[in-house]
Structure 1
Amino acid sequence: MSASPLLHRRHALALAAALALSLGLGACGGSSSSPDTPAAPAGLGQAETAPVADESSVLPFVDYAATNVRGDGCHATLATNAGVRVLQGMLDLWTPATLLVDAGVTAAATADCPAIDAYTGNGMDGTARNAAVLDANVAYAATVTTARTEAQAEAAYYDDRRGKGYSVTDGLGPLTAAWRSAAQQTTTITSIPADATSQKYDDGGNNTGVGSSGGNTGFGSVVDFVNNVGTNASTEPAKRFYKYARPWRWSSSVVVAPTLVPAKGSPAYTDGGFPSGHTAEAVRDALAMAYVMPERFQELVARALELGDNRILAGMHSPLDVIGGRILGQASAVGNLYAATPETRAAAYRQAHTALMAATGSSDWNAFYAYAHSGSGDRFADSAAVKAAAIKRLTYDFAAIATTGKTAQVPKGAEVLLETRLPYLSAEQRRVVLKTTAIGSGYPALDDAEGYGRLNLVAAADGYGAFNGDVAVTMDAALGGFNAADTWKNDIAGAGLLSKDGSGSLTLAGANRYSGGTLLKAGTLVAGSAGAFGSGDVYASGGTLRAAQAGTLQLGGKLTLLSGSTLQLALGGAGQGRVAVADRLTLDGATLELSFASGFKPAVGDTLVLLSVGKVQGRFDRVSIAGATGELRYEDGRVLLKITG
């Protein structure tokens, strides 16, 4: 015969009482009861999108990348060459001298482009359409080269003379040595020769390393993957189309680094400045490396931007040259990654991780990630500083010259760049990340129709910049890597709702301002800053909500914790691990887990404020304290813990 409902209830109450006693807990201030539970935040009711530009008027680079052929330099036009077309923002500033071609010689007759290119000008014989911007462009180069330090001159020399693929690998930080060893990368530029001021030295190394055809069975597919982003990626057609001179030709105030004077090109008509070829190659190589090693995504992109900046410090290029190189480098990387099969991309990712995890003795991904960020000499370790430097290197202090505040356009296929860095997002969501982290509109040469100029990939590596629609994230910890745990560090704006589901853990670490609310369904959602959850309501129907910031977590709306949800607080000094709720705290079947931060040990008899709220409804059903016993108290506007042992 089955037990009666009354016996079931008595048994449950007895278990609950035993649990409370075992924890040394009391519940003062009233008994637990089912509160009038608020509704979950509704958000905007729709997700944001980032549609591709109208292809009837904008030809996507990814569909026409094959037109950017190096030998096309004499005939490349906006209509025929994708590399020229993606840089056409330059035409708002500069009209190049007319390209004259011997009508009797065709491209098919010879692959020697200069032989059929009748242009013999100096790259300064075009027409300035915005003299103020062009003057500022050269003046910037003059300013930084006359103030250049010895350390900057040395860095500029290495980035000029070494293979670009070799140079950008130091963006891998603690993983650099393991990567170079696995790739079998070499360089012959290991120091600056005493006679470098009079003798040009070329790198006799192998740049990106040894590929699969060279017998590199353990890392060859990775090297091939990096090399393939250079397909149809030449800057030569664009250089010959735009015919814009290097800064030292424009002004004698631009001082080329003495050790690089022997590397100055001649004649002028074959030595264009726009776009920077070094920058373009560094950017596309770094993006391929970042795809297979997303643990260092932000740092690799930052290293490529640094290399571009070093081209200006060298005196070899102007800011506009470097901006053009970045745009074309990004487009080339997208075009080639987009064209690669998912299987090819996945195989390169797997091989990179298999080799480097073994080389670093990493037992799992968490250990590998920790190793990748363990170097004391890592100059890209400060994420905030890296992001600030990136903004400067994307815009170079130019003032806006066109409409500001325009919604960013995202290039077709650009979402592939974030495929391994944000693997738990959909392709459309990754496009929205690129859209919401893009730099502002109106800057010189950056408002290209596809949107390459405004991409800020350093910021995109830190997740959304705004919730302009509702964002639903499902993370599967079983898939490992960033699927299991990730952190968004941007300051998120917008009126949308964040909904977190799945078994993985997501940390929000920015000074967030989004107002649509936060809904936790499963897994772990971590507050890594005082304003992590913006100004809306926080509603947990399941999962674990963790306050991990140094100070008090500030919630601008209601906090609702339902059955199946857990609130974790790690208490410390100066308000660490506490929560301030502007409106109502509603508890209906939730669990509270308390611990103490390292170095913080309250004394018996101390009373700690855990939550300060507008109003408390309900009680925690289960409470645990690591390392102490205590009594939980509920008062008007506060939830307290008195330490009893």
Structure 2
Amino acid sequence: MRAFVPARPTAALTVLLLLSSALTPAFADTLVLPPAPAGLGHADSAPAPAGIPAYVDTGASNQRGDACLSTLETNAGVRLLSGFLEIWTPRTPFVDADQDAPAKDGCAAVTKSDWDGLPRSATDGTMKNPAVHAANLAYVIRTTAANTPEDDLEAYLDDRRGKSVSITDGLGPLADAWRKGAQQTTTVTDMPADATSVKYDDKGNNRGVGSKDGNAVMGKAVDLVEAGSKDGSTEPAKRYYKYARPYRWSEEVRVVPQLEPAKSTKPAGDGGFPSGHTAEAWRDALVMAYLVPQRYQEMVTRAVRMGENRIRAGMHQPFDVIGGRMQATAVVAYNLNRADYAGLKAEAYQQTQSFLATDTGAAGFDGLMALAHSAPAGTDPFADRAANADFVTPRFSYGLPKISAGDAAAVVPKGAEVLLETRLPYLDAAQRRLVLKSTALPAGYPIMSDAEGWGRLNLFAAADGFAAFDGDVTVTMDAAKGGFNTADSWKNDIAGEGRLVKTGSGSLTLSGINSFSGGVIVEDGTLVAKSSRAFGTGDLYISGGRVVVADAHPAVSGNLVLRRAGGLDVALSGKDGGITVAKSVAVEGGTLRVSLAAGYTPSVGDELSLIRSDSFNGTFEAIVLEGHDTVPVYGKTGLSLRITK
């Protein structure tokens, strides 16, 4: 290792630099530092929409058979999905499909509907947008016709198997430990050769064994998964909207042959919207993602896959799957916000993390994180994040035609931020709401543009942090708290005019192609740049902590300022790596550490470019490159490092 403390060289000093590896610092008294980025001067906000009953406050009203909770206005589950009324008018505007609701507390009785469950019959509802319905049904016909044997098997298992045990494969390398700790079992492990031996019911225990039944190692986790579904039935909405299954809309819909016996013979009691299987999978997946945030995106992907498998089975349409996802997301937020579950949440999280680490031999949260992403795609079908993103993104809207303005601003439902509580623990509740706002799905799609904002939540993208700084953002990460507080990575492309301030002892990695213009200030901890545009289009101001530049040839579009308390790490894979700065560089001191990528070994005499700029002023207190003797070469427009040994 060689540490340099150099002054800017004159012609005579250059000779001295070539002969010496330790120089006395000599900083110019006239060095003028550009000011720190000012940003917008305010934070953004994401208030819950005003004047709208919040699902997290009214979720208990999602009931069936109660005359006082049988209308759009009185039933939260029905109200949430009211966007469906833009494309479908049900036979009657009550939760009434196949049972009576007696008069109660001054509410008039609701009598059983005469809906027969058959599309286009005399008792059917009214289709209001034929083009959207045609696209919806066409997706089912096209998808079921393209099924492979593997698709049929997966669709069959997701239909017949307990939903909770089915989606545990989203946990990848941690799945076996979860099933062991939860004591989950299933009796549906394969698909019969034909429909004559179809298994109608999984004789396993679906979610596992809870704490009251003696599960001391992960019973609380099972309890929380159960609690996440409280008041979560899809039946009230099914009985209100009265929308038929796809195979009743068209004979071109192919039902997986082994599931033909599972088709209901009572259409009036078998509405398709919303999908109950999809909703249950999403409810359990989101709670499991809360407990095992190391696999957050993978569990979201698995929930999306369950919805797709309902279509592959021939049992549901995109309308149904969208509705199931929306309702489940709201139900989980409603339950995770309940005051009486606060203690259970904490206990379940600690119990889950502890048991999984102990059972797998992983060293705490970080060890579980490494293990969770250790299997190749051939073993773990959710191992590839890019493939997951490609799968889930089109299946939030299924590419259905837009029916309203696509530029409507995103709103965030009250309490939705709880869904990111363990995934982004270093952000406060208001900041997690901003993440949800900045990653929201586009507006205008059928059903999804509900007034509260549940339909546009994109939890897959939200797990990758902000997608826009529409105000200034300060991120404080306390590494002592462990988990994602110690280190996390934001992979979204971040837009906006706001500024990022990184403080706290933890490490934050920026991997997106970012365009935010407010600049970056690093006060403490570590900021890692893993893309060429990680810093956005503003200034980079390092007043403390360190900035680590991975081998991505990053650019600073504004000024680069390094104060004495700060540090900079640069990884090189060749002579022309380092950082490009569009404007000026001002170095008050600090340490520059240089590392070489695996496989790259410079030769004696090579001059490695570290910083290129429009103008360069100041010097580092020390420049360090392990294993080599070097001499820094300062110039008016940059800094390089000459290898002398």
The bucket for the TM-score relative to the shorter chain is over 0.9
Tell me, in whole angstroms, the C-alpha distance in 1 between the residues paired with 2:69 and 2:218. 39
Q: Which residue of 2 aligns with 1:532?
A: 534
Q: Which residue of 2 aligns with 1:309?
A: 308
Q: Which residue of 2 aligns with 1:43?
A: 39
Q: Which residue of 2 aligns with 1:132?
A: 131
Tell me, in whole angstroms, the C-alpha distance in 1 between the residues paired with 2:434 and 2:55. 19
Q: Which residue of 1 aligns with 2:10?
A: none
Tell me, in whole angstroms, the C-alpha distance in 1 between the residues paired with 2:65 and 2:601. 71
Tell me, in whole angstroms, the C-alpha distance in 1 between the residues paired with 2:81 and 2:199. 31
Tell me, in whole angstroms, the C-alpha distance in 1 between the residues paired with 2:511 and 2:71. 46
Asked whether 1:33 is paired with 2:28, we answer yes
Q: How does 1:482-561 map to 2 (within 5 A)?
A: 482-548=484-550, 550-561=551-562
Match of 1:98 among 85, 92, 98: 92
Tell me, in whole angstroms, the C-alpha distance in 2 between the residues paired with 1:627 and 1:107. 84
Q: Which residue of 1 aligns with 2:266?
A: 267
Q: How does 1:466-485 map to 2 (within 5 A)?
A: 466-485=468-487
Match of 1:378 among 348, 363, 380: 380
CA contact (8 A) 2:479 2:487 kept: yes
CA contact (8 A) 1:425 1:473 kept: yes
CA contact (8 A) 1:465 1:491 kept: yes
CA contact (8 A) 2:279 2:324 kept: yes
Q: Which residue of 1 aligns with 2:61?
A: 67
Tell me, in whole angstroms, the C-alpha distance in 1 between the residues paired with 2:423 and 2:59. 24
CA contact (8 A) 2:447 2:455 kept: yes
Q: How does 1:111-130 map to 2 (within 5 A)?
A: 117-124=112-119, 125-130=124-129
Larger deviation, residues 520-529 vs 384-393: 384-393
AA of the residue aligned to 1:94? W
CA contact (8 A) 2:173 2:372 kept: yes
Q: How does 1:285-324 map to 2 (within 5 A)?
A: 285-324=284-323
Structure 1 residues 24 and 356: CA distance shift in structure 2, 3 A: farther
Q: Which string of whole-angstrom CA distances, capped at 9 and with x for unpartnered residues, describes residues 258-303 of structure 1? A: 1111111121110000000000000010010011111111110110
- Match of 1:566, SS state, is strand
Structure 1 residues 65 and 412: CA distance shift in structure 2, 3 A: same
Tell me, in whole angstroms, the C-alpha distance in 2 between the residues paired with 1:105 and 1:506. 56
- Match of 1:153, SS state, is helix
CA contact (8 A) 1:437 1:464 kept: yes
CA contact (8 A) 1:497 1:516 kept: yes
Structure 1 residues 27 and 387: CA distance shift in structure 2, 3 A: farther
Q: Which residue of 2 aligns with 1:9?
A: none
Alignment RMSD, CA only?
2.4
Tell me, in whole angstroms, the C-alpha distance in 2 between the residues paired with 1:289 and 1:73. 34
- Match of 1:107, SS state, is coil
Tell me, in whole angstroms, the C-alpha distance in 2 between the residues paired with 1:238 and 1:417. 23
Tell me, in whole angstroms, the C-alpha distance in 2 between the residues paired with 1:421 and 1:575. 37
Consecutive unaligned residues in structure 1, runs of 5 or more: 1-11
What's the CA shift for 1:24? 6.2
Q: Which residue of 2 aligns with 1:334?
A: 333
Match of 2:70 among 65, 76, 79: 76
Q: Which residue of 2 aligns with 1:571?
A: 572
Q: TM-score, normalised by structure 1?
A: 0.92
Q: Which string of whole-angstrom CA distances, capped at 9 and with x for unpartnered residues, describes residues 195-243 of structure 1? A: 4356343111100100001100110000000011111000001001000
What's the CA shift for 1:91? 0.3
Q: Which residue of 1 aligns with 2:251?
A: 252
What's the CA shift for 1:625? 1.2
Q: Which string of whole-angstrom CA distances, capped at 9 and with x for unpartnered residues, describes residues 320-350 of structure 1? A: 1000000001011111111144332111110
Tell me, in whole angstroms, the C-alpha distance in 2 between the residues paired with 1:27 and 1:419. 50
Q: Which residue of 2 aligns with 1:7?
A: none
Structure 1 residues 60 and 633: CA distance shift in structure 2, 3 A: same
Q: Which residue of 1 aligns with 2:151?
A: 152
Larger deviation, residues 448-457 vs 621-630: 621-630
CA contact (8 A) 1:70 1:232 kept: no
Larger deviation, residues 332-341 vs 36-45: 332-341
Structure 1 residues 152 and 53: CA distance shift in structure 2, 3 A: same
Q: How does 1:354-503 map to 2 (within 5 A)?
A: 354-376=354-376, 377-503=379-505
CA contact (8 A) 1:70 1:235 kept: no
What's the CA shift for 1:123? 4.7
What's the CA shift for 1:368? 1.8
Tell me, in whole angstroms, the C-alpha distance in 1 between the residues paired with 2:557 and 2:223. 51
Q: Which residue of 2 aligns with 1:217?
A: 216
Number of residues paired by the alignment?
Answer: 620
What's the CA shift for 1:636? 2.7
What's the CA shift for 1:77? 1.3
Consecutive unaligned residues in structure 2, runs of 5 or more: 8-12
Tell me, in whole angstroms, the C-alpha distance in 2 between the residues paired with 1:575 and 1:180. 51
Q: Which string of whole-angstrom CA distances, capped at 9 and with x for unpartnered residues, describes residues 300-330 of structure 1? A: 0110011001101111000010000000010
AA of the residue aligned to 2:102? A
Structure 1 residues 329 and 617: CA distance shift in structure 2, 3 A: same
Structure 1 residues 575 and 293: CA distance shift in structure 2, 3 A: farther
Structure 1 residues 73 and 171: CA distance shift in structure 2, 3 A: farther
AA of the residue aligned to 1:325? G
Q: Which residue of 2 aligns with 1:8?
A: none
Tell me, in whole angstroms, the C-alpha distance in 1 between the residues paired with 2:116 and 2:68. 14
CA contact (8 A) 2:300 2:459 kept: yes
Q: Which residue of 2 aligns with 1:350?
A: 350
Structure 1 ranges of 4+ moved more than 3 A: 20-28, 70-75, 99-102, 104-109, 195-200, 573-576
CA contact (8 A) 1:587 1:619 kept: yes
What's the CA shift for 1:612? 1.0
CA contact (8 A) 1:595 1:627 kept: no
Q: TM-score, normalised by structure 2?
A: 0.92
- Match of 1:63, SS state, is helix
Asked whether 1:581 is paired with 2:581, we answer yes
Percent identity between the two aligned chains: 50
What's the CA shift for 1:384? 2.3
- Match of 2:580, SS state, is strand
Structure 1 residues 358 and 21: CA distance shift in structure 2, 3 A: farther
Q: Which residue of 2 aligns with 1:161?
A: 160
AA of the residue aligned to 2:112? D
What's the CA shift for 1:380? 1.9
CA contact (8 A) 1:33 1:618 kept: yes
Structure 1 residues 519 and 369: CA distance shift in structure 2, 3 A: same
